[in-house]
Homo-oligomer: A and B are copies of this chain.
Amino acid sequence: MKENRLEEFAPLFFPKTHVVIGASANPFKFGGRFLRTLINFGPKGKLLVVNPQETEIAGLDTYASVRDIPGPVDFASIVVPARAVPPIVEECLEKGIKGVQILSSGFSEAGEQSKQWEKQIAETASRGIRVIGPNCFGVYSPEGGLTILPGETLPKESGPVAFFSQSGGLAIRIPRRASGLGLRFSQVVSYGNASDINECDLLEYFYHDPKTRVVGCYLEGVRNGPRFFKLLKEVTRVKPVVIWKGGLTESGSRAVQSHTASLSGAISSWNSLFRQTGAVGVNSIDELLDAILAFTHLSPQSGRRVCVIGGGGAVGVAASDACERVGLTVPPFSPELHEKLKKIVPAAGGSARNPVDIGNPFPDTKALKTVLESVARSGEVDSLIVDGLELAVEKNRDPENSELVDTIGRDNVQAIMDLKKMPGSSLKSLMVVMPIEATGTDGIEAESARRRVRDKFLAEGIPVYMTLEGAVSSLSRLAGYGEHLER
């Protein structure tokens, strides 16, 4: 079963010969843009073109029809108008092509008449060819040399995250945003109307795919509820599945009707699905990315006892409120740990309790290190969140003083990174919050510095969040999944 599923999808994700049917030399046409994007991204196998009007497009072998291609082809992208698609899928089957993606729209989402074409496609698919789409953006598979429009500049390296989406727009926005957060994908699949391949097939593939560790998806509806439920229960035993279910409100459900014509389902049944399967529910693009970031870097055995270390009292108050709202605790320290920290943290303008207020957004590195290490060794908390420290200071902020301040930032970053590998630490997770403080057009240098420091943390497997709320919500989701695994 497992081998079959992986083998079945190989032509779709790692094609040896890929033909684009309906590609054009005109970059203003969809087929032209798509072809150029593929070429610029860098195909891994052989790339061919079918276009009856032209004899050579972009220097590639060009044929009038699929039938005219001499050698074997395993994958086709179809970008012709909807009404022309059904006979082309039939031709692809005859040619022995194993998989196609239909990027054209104008099928069941466009009305009764066009539903017929989609039925024909499904019927052809049932006779031995797998179909992604129609009305989709298709596949981004860095290892297979496939990308989504406009994903020319998406990373060429693979990674442990899989994402599939009923929305094409999200299938490009998610990997684009995620790439800046250091996340890399095995595959991203926009599967549109799911005439053949649907959320269950994809979930099953990524379940078996050894390269995928974290699965994310955006769903508007599910075709086969019982199968999805059963499968989800199995998958979450071995890898986390983060689900953004769109259309869980009345207006949202109406919007789903216009978008993908899916049956949206009641919020109560989805809530019980999350509870029973251990799948992780999120409600926005930011929550989705924040959760995937946590699941990629941290263990689900993260626990709920949090220590927050910040450089300012309000940071601690805000963090405590935010933790409690999502079901995490900020437990008081033991008298021993409190006494120990009191020797380091300034009595005026600081706090040696949990949350720790180190009294200054640029703390002395030695003091910060001692606080971090004492908390990490104490066994009194599971997780540590660092917030409200200025870790990325642009040189010119404090002109007469820049050398000093810049060094403090750098050393403090190192102190936090060292904690991750510190022997004797009983911390299960470590997170850093680095919001954008310099929001102006004149703050772009500072934003650049912030991103560079963020990338240093990410490279060490320390997730960095833009908001405190994003960090604690993700930690709570992680802990909730951990608790599900234990049950």
Contact = CB atoms under 8 A, between A and B. Distances in A.
Interface of A: 27-28, 33, 36, 82, 105-107, 109-111, 114, 135, 150, 153, 165-170, 173, 176-181, 218, 220, 246-252, 254-256, 258-260, 283-286, 311-325, 329-330, 332, 347-349, 351, 353, 355, 357, 361, 388, 397-398, 400-401, 404, 435-441, 443-444, 447-448, 451-452, 455, 467-469
Contacts of A168: 312
A260 B349 CA distance: 9
B388 A169 contact: yes
Contacts of A255: 313, 316-317, 319-320, 330, 351, 353, 355
A347 B439 CA distance: 39
A177 B439 contact: yes
A247 B467 CA distance: 18
Contact of A27 (B259, B400, B436): B400
Given A109-B349, A440-B451, 17 more contacts: A111-B347, A114-B348, A169-B312, A173-B437, A178-B439, A180-B439, A180-B443, A249-B325, A252-B317, A252-B320, A252-B324, A254-B320, A255-B353, A259-B351, A441-B448, A441-B451, A444-B447
A28 B403 CA distance: 12
Contact of A317 (B256, B348, B439): B256
A256 B438 CA distance: 27
A84 B153 CA distance: 62
List the 9 shortest-distance A-B pairs measured between CB atoms, nearest first: A180-B439, A259-B313, A169-B312, A180-B440, A167-B314, A106-B348, A252-B321, A249-B324, A258-B351
Contact of A313 (B248, B260, B324, B329): B260
Contacts of A114: 348
Nearest to A356: B258
A19 to B, nearest CB: 23
Contacts of A107: 348
Contacts of A398: 150
Count copies of this chain in the complex.
Answer: 2
B349 A135 contact: yes
Nearest to A181: B439
A455 B170 CA distance: 26
B455 A441 contact: yes
B321 A251 contact: yes
A355 B169 CA distance: 15
A179 to B, nearest CB: 6
A415 B111 CA distance: 31
Contacts of A437: 173, 176-177
22 contacts: A33-B401, A105-B348, A106-B347, A109-B348, A135-B349, A169-B311, A169-B312, A169-B361, A169-B388, A170-B314, A176-B438, A180-B439, A247-B321, A249-B323, A251-B321, A252-B317, A254-B330, A255-B317, A255-B355, A283-B322, A284-B469, A441-B452
A26 to B, nearest CB: 11
A351 B257 CA distance: 10
A312 B179 CA distance: 21
Given A106-B347, A324-B252, A318 B285 contact: yes
A169 to B, nearest CB: 3
Nearest to A351: B258
A451 B455 contact: no
Nearest to A220: B317
Given A347-B110, A348-B106, A444-B448, A251 B324 contact: yes
B247 A441 contact: no
B332 A254 contact: yes
Contacts of A248: 321
B355 A316 contact: no
